[in-house]
Structure 1
Amino acid sequence: MGLIQEVNQLNSKIKFSIILDENPNAYINERKILFITTGLLKYIPNYEALIGVLAHEVGHLENYHITKRIKSISNLRSINKLSTLSVIAASIMANNSDFLVQSMITNQMGIQNYYSSFSREQEREADIFAAQTLNQLHISPEPLKKFLKILEKESFQKGLTEEDYKFSSHPVYKERFDILENESINQKYKSDQKFSDQFFFIKAKLFGFTENDGNELNKYLKNDYYEYANSIILARKGELKKSLIILNNLINKYPKNIFLMETKADLLIPHGYTEEAMRFYQKVYDKDKNNHHIKKTMFEIEYERIEKKHNKFPQEFFYDYSDLLMIFENNIMLHNKLRKIALLLEKNEWVNFIDTNTYFNDISNKEVLKILNNILITSQDKKLINFTKKKIKLIPNE
């Protein structure tokens, strides 16, 4: 994603969230969170195609499509029944407008065609943005076209026809191929083996944790990537010894790939080897301080250990992990645990800060700003003040 933002000189900070969903999809919302389904990561052919898909979603953000869509809904309110409007609005707010294809709404045709036409133009703009980004990165459009063909085949296998796409937000596939073809420039394309390895190891890990049959892996993974996914499946089936033999061989073969060591820790935890897992997590985190997933996992393990032992959380423990509040904004269980620690440590200002999370609490932006500004006036806690300033900048005007 950094490459996409760099070549387009974008200042937007975009966060990722992976959703367990077999349908290949990606979408971005007004909070600049890019949602990627496991289905997309599993079935997309290579990293070049993935970059194309992500660039398409960033194109929606950079062209202010989400804002325009919300305004469009407001304009339609006077000429549409509330029930139909609610379905379309829900689709837009989730940025998953293909919901209209799945639900096949048949009433209010004029409004649906207005909506489809409006969003199709935005999809065209996003496709053009993606194609131009691939050009700037010297990446061939062929992998993305290959993935679109996979989606096209899947759509028609599900029974969708060209006629159905009158109700879809996306242009028909031929039009999308034409956009990629017309926007591509004659140049020497690049391929990065390091990116490719990372992509296939991530893909293999997803297969390992979401599939139960190793025989199915041959369709999508080869060689070491297959072995990696199979080692995870074996551990999930209770065959930890066989799993670790395969995984240790891969770790020795790819000593710089700390992703494999992280997986070893992941596999040890369900089998009761918590201390060993923590040592591996710490090794990985020491090499990559931006691995927020590992930090969250380490917090969960330590939290459970302290809670079972004496329920007395050191102040340092809270401060070490408090940044997770900003990183995992929509994780209610994580926020509740950190809130509990703040209460036990009598850190009322932190409790107030945590309670301003609009994901979980029915609170207006006006009230949130009032609480946050009060924290800035009264608090002497430098870390809390820093977080508060960052959060104020993220709050949209009502």
Structure 2
Amino acid sequence: MLRRIITLTAIFLVALPSTVFAQGRSFIRDTEIEETLHLYAEPIFKAAGLDPRGVSVYIISDASLNAFVAGGQKLFINTGLLLKAQTPEQVMGVIAHETGHIAGGHLSRVHDQLRNASAISILSTIVGVAAGVAAGRADVGTAAVLGGQNVAERNFLAYSRTQESSADQAGVNFLTEAGITSRGLMEFMETLEGQELLSTARQDPYLRSHPLTTERVDFLENYVANSSLKTTKVDPALYERHDRMRAKLYAFTNHIRNTLRVYPETDTSISGRYARAIAYYRDSQIDPAMKIIDGLIAEEPENAYFAELKGQVLLEFGKATEAAPPLRKAVELSKGAPLIRLLLAHALIESSDSAALPEAKENLLGVLAVERSNTSAWRFRAIIENRLGNEGEASLSQAEYSLLTGDREAAKYHAVQADRKLEKGTATWQRAQDIIRATDPEDGKDKDKDKPK
């Protein structure tokens, strides 16, 4: 069925082949979690003089505690860190520290390490995987480093103790400038301090790539003790968002038995009910899942993510027509969040209602206006354009999809088909020409190599 083309849940699990991640890790895309992390990070990035739109944050589905920056202004955070962080301030502290590495230019050391072949491989993997996440697929990036070459990874991503201290100092300054306590960063480092006596294999990856010293912990403790913000807490709404984020992540990444143990029926909080609804849904128990979701929607009718989850459950269980109304509501409430618009378009296509195709196309155009490299959007658009009888647009969309997924031969084939069907001189026709040139086997070769010297 069409809905099996990609794995779509309220959380998008962008699975990587086992050859890429030996431990079967994957990336996660979810509007609610991404928005929560954006709220955490934006004031810190601004305090550091960085454009929040220029820093990309990626979520790795990995239970270990880790976060790192690489490949430019790209911040990677493990789900294990988000699940273990008890407060928003702890995540903010880690973000501030990692921002210290970016602002301090510590990534410039990469240029020296690029002389090493393994470093080149690692950097290409980081960039490739980042492209895959942005595209909504993992197979865009094809290198195999982060999971399989652990030693090279640690060497490449490891910072010196001097750089770590510098990032700490920058991080607390950014937090203070943003009006956020550094207590969370201190608590995070104190948690890691207890692992120093463990064998390397038992330590969290964060400690292995970010050397911890007593002096660093002492610095943070002294800074917090003398800070006017030491007892300050962020907006209570962020605490609620944090609890919901953790509940959602836990339910999506654990077996239902574990979820019901951590979030038992006696837990009547919204986070507890949210986790149980997801657990039942993932266990194919649709009736109890829908009962909880409907209760959550009744309690918070303006919550886009509850409406999104309802639509997702209905879609996954073959009720695409019924899924469309809650997903339309979710799109409205989220102010057109791309991933939710993509999900709505998916439901409209799945409904097999030809009258719904223009609406589906409109939503996909909205997705591509924000995320032009979203391969799923191009794949769905190719289907819609074909059903609408727009053969040229269908071929061009398929060419875009093939180009993004690395199939240059298919991209050229479909671009040539688009060239024949589109009106010459139009923007879409010109784009087909661009793809044809980009996939030319001779493209990129040194045209002057045979010229006489």
- Length-normalised TM-score, structure 1: 0.70
Asked whether the equivalents of residues 331 and 337 of structure 2 are also in contact (C-alpha less than 8 Å), the reply is yes
Other-structure match for 2:218 = 178
How far is 1:201 from its partner? 0.9
Aligned to 1:57: 98
Q: 2:292 aligns with which of 240, 243, 246?
A: 246
State the 1:204 CA deviation.
0.8
SS of the aligned residue for 2:77 comes to strand
- Residue 87 of structure 1 aligns to a residue whose secondary structure is helix
Structure-2 separation of matches of 1:284 and 1:256: 9
Which amino acid letter does the alignment assign opposite residue 267 of structure 1?
V
- In structure 1, the partner of 2:248 is 205
One-letter amino acid matched to 2:319 = Y
Cα distance, 1:46–1:339 mapped onto 2, change above 3 Å: same
Give, in whole Å, the separation in 1 of the partners of 2:330 and 2:202: 48
5+ unaligned residues in a row in structure 1: which ranges?
Answer: 78-84, 106-111, 364-376, 385-398
CA 1:291/1:87 → structure 2, altered by over 3 Å: closer, same or farther? same
Q: 1:297 to 1:29 in 2, by over 3 A?
A: farther
2:323 corresponds to which of 277, 285, 289:
277
2:344 paired with 1:298:
yes
- Contact kept, 8 Å, 1:69 with 1:92, in 2: the verdict is no
Q: Does 1:23 align with 2:68?
A: no
CA separation in 2, counterparts of 1:128 and 1:305? 55
> Residue 117 of structure 2 corresponds to which residue in structure 1?
86
Residues 146-171 of structure 1: per-residue CA shift (max 9 Å, x gap): 23344444675565599x99x94312
| Match of residue 3 from structure 1 | 43
Deviation at 1:279, TM superposition (A): 1.1
CA deviations on 1:5-24 (whole Å, 9 max, x unpaired) are 33334225133332222122
Task: Please list, as runs of the form range in 1=range in 2, the aligned pairs for 1:304-323 lying within 5 A after superposition.
Answer: 304-306=350-352, 317-318=360-361, 320-323=363-366
Sort the Cα spacing of 1:91 and 1:196 in 2 relative to 1 into closer, same or farther, 3 A.
same
Q: Aligned residue for 1:145?
A: 186
Greater Cα offset, 348-357 or 240-249: 348-357
102 and 15 in structure 1: CA distance in 2 versus 1, 3 angstrom threshold: closer
Quick one: which amino acid aligns to residue 260 of structure 1? F
Q: State how far apart, in whole Å, the 2-side matches of 1:227 and 1:314 are.
A: 35
Letter in 2 for 1:6: K
Equivalent residue in structure 2 for 1:38, among 79, 82, 85: 79
| Displacement after TM superposition at 1:45 (Å) | 1.1
SS of match in other structure, 2:96: helix
Provide the secondary structure at the position in 2 that maps to 1:34. Answer: strand
CA distance in 2, matches of 1:62, 1:341: 44
Paired residue total: 347
Helix, strand or coil for the counterpart of 1:346?
A: helix
Q: 1:240 to 1:157 in 2, by over 3 A?
A: farther
How far apart, CA to CA, are the structure 2 residues paired with 1:314 and 1:352? 20
Q: Does the Cα contact within 8 Å between 2:97 and 2:171 map onto a contact in 1?
A: yes
Task: Measure the CA separation in 1 of the matches of 2:399 and 2:160.
Answer: 40
Q: Report the structure, 1 or 2, having the larger helix content.
A: 1
1:126 aligns with 2:167: yes
Q: Is the 8 A contact 2:164 2:210 kept in 1?
A: yes
- Structure 2, unmatched stretches of 5+, are 1-40, 130-144, 410-423, 432-453
CA contact (8 A) 1:24 1:39 kept: yes
Using a 3 Å threshold, how does the CA distance of structure 1 residues 319 and 345 change in structure 2: closer, same or farther?
Answer: farther
Corresponding position of 2:23: none
Of the three residues 246, 257, 262, the one matched with 1:217 is: 262
> Taking structure 1 as reference, are residues 302 and 19 closer, same or farther at Cα in structure 2, changes over 3 Å only?
farther
2:363 is the alignment partner of 1:324 = no
* 8 Å Cα contact 2:92/2:184 also seen in 1: no
Aligned to 1:190: 233
1:280 Cα deviation after fit = 1.0
**Corresponding position of 2:21:** none
Equivalent residue letter for 2:110: I
Asked whether the equivalents of residues 65 and 78 of structure 2 are also in contact (C-alpha less than 8 Å), the reply is yes
**Retained in 1: the 8 A contact 2:159–2:210?**
no
- Give a deviation string over 1:331-387, Cα, whole Å, max 9, x none: 544444445656854137767766764x73679xxxxxxxxxxxxx95457xx8xxx
- CA 1:326–1:182 in 2, change beyond 3 Å: closer, same or farther? farther
CA distance in 1, matches of 2:247, 2:192: 20
**Is contact 1:332-1:360 (8 Å) kept?**
no
Q: Is the 8 A contact 2:321 2:351 kept in 1?
A: no
2:44 touches 2:174 (CA, 8 Å); kept in 1? yes
Provide the alpha-carbon RMSD of the alignment. Answer: 4.3
Inter-partner Cα distance in structure 2 for 1:305 and 1:8: 47
| Candidates 284, 287, 291, aligned match of 2:333 | 287
TM norm structure 2:
0.62
Query: Deviations for 1:148-207, whole angstroms, at most 9, x for unmatched residues?
Result: 344444675565599x99x94312153442343355452142321111111211211111
